[in-house]
Copies of this chain bind each other. A is one copy, B any other.
Amino acid sequence: MIINEVTDLLQMEHPIIQAPMAGGVTTTELVTSVSNNGGLGMIGAGYMTPIQMREQIREVKEVTSNFGVNLFVPNEFSVSQNAMETAHAVLEPLRKELNIQQDGSELPEAKQFFETFQAQIEVVIEEKVPICSFTFGIPSKEVMMKLKQHSIILMGTATTVREAVANENSGMDLVVVQGSEAGGHRGNFIDGHEESLVGLMSLIPQVVDEVSIPVIAAGGIMDGRGLMASLCLGAKGVQMGTAFLTCIESGAHKIHKKAILHAEEDHIVFTRAFSGKWARGIKNRFIVDMQEHERSFPDFPVQNHLTKSIRKTSSTKNNKDFMSLWGGQSPRLAKIQTVESLIKNIMSEAK
């Protein structure tokens, strides 16, 4: 048994949070299994419409009252003519190869993302979601205040000490520190990509010394060894992505799960080509072919929009070449197992 201020605050039996992986991974079954087995299940709602979000929240609430929702904080972005031309020139041949008709869905404007975010916040409040976490930045003072008025527990994401301090100053109740080991999108929002790649061995103790809110460690943690190491370094809990992604209850594509099980730690690299934001995933044909262009592509979420049909078609065809196979740096520790077995194993190793 590990009891501390985080297990108390988040009403968990174990200090284990399931990372809010967006894009269909965090099924209701995954989220509720995690919470029912003593951890905290999180809905990765970053890409969801307010309607989709409300639907899943209601599904989850039928099974458990303890869960969280993660949202992407929208940022201003600019789209240069050059970047769009590069993306078009490079992606069009791939669309042809995959027999994708010009899908014609219009490029969303920045305004829309801000409006969606506001609507998502309303859903969180209306549905009385107990815990809300954020990635890619910190919401406005107004939003933070509104959520606090409804006693929602707020969790921010940081990749450096500076970002952790900004989270604390904004009123976050906890901060998740994302080490360079982490899979998926980087959460840096003040510091640049290279500068914000700090390993957890360095990141946790330096953040813990500078903030007074509890710190949750994320990145490469897969088992009881990682949990115990994080606690030694001063974290009060862990947030695990890849370990839950390969669970039976997760909605990740079977090809994605399989790719992680067969990956080696040095095959999981950074790319900007899928979404316009740096993210860690398993090296495949798309990552390799796009490497020389990736710095020229438009920013997130524009590039993400432009590659959507490619990723989707690849996934439908069970073709791993063009799928975003996000994963952290510890693939050799991944297993296909139930959430119950994963959490039980962690806690038995952590004794």
With both beta carbons as reference points, the residue of chain B lying nearest to A180 in the complex is identified as: B199
Say which residue of B206, B217, B232 sits within 8 Å of A332 (CB atoms): B206
Q: Does any Cβ of B come within 8 Å of A160's Cβ?
A: yes
Q: Does any Cβ of B come within 8 Å of A97's Cβ?
A: no
- A266→B191 contact, CB < 8 A: yes
Q: Does any Cβ of B come within 8 Å of A161's Cβ?
A: yes
Q: Does any Cβ of B come within 8 Å of A228's Cβ?
A: yes
Complex contacts, A266 vs chain B, CB 8 Å: 160-162, 191, 195-196, 198
With both beta carbons as reference points, the residue of chain B lying nearest to A332 in the complex is identified as: B206
Q: Does any Cβ of B come within 8 Å of A128's Cβ?
A: no
Complex contacts, A87 vs chain B, CB 8 Å: none
Complex contacts, A269 vs chain B, CB 8 Å: 194-195
By the criterion of a CB under 8 Å from any partner CB, how many residues of chain A are at the interface?
46
Q: Does any Cβ of B come within 8 Å of A26's Cβ?
A: no
Q: How many copies does the complex hold?
A: 2
Q: Does any Cβ of B come within 8 Å of A267's Cβ?
A: yes
Q: Does any Cβ of B come within 8 Å of A205's Cβ?
A: yes
Complex contacts, A223 vs chain B, CB 8 Å: 205
Q: Does any Cβ of B come within 8 Å of A229's Cβ?
A: yes
Q: Does any Cβ of B come within 8 Å of A25's Cβ?
A: no
Whether A180 touches B205, Cβ cut-off 8 Å, given contacts A160-B266, A233-B229, A234-B225, is no
Q: Does any Cβ of B come within 8 Å of A339's Cβ?
A: no
Q: Which residues of A contact B (CB under 8 A)?
A: 160-162, 179-181, 191, 194-203, 205-206, 209-210, 217, 219-223, 225-226, 228-230, 232-234, 264-267, 269-270, 328-330, 332-333
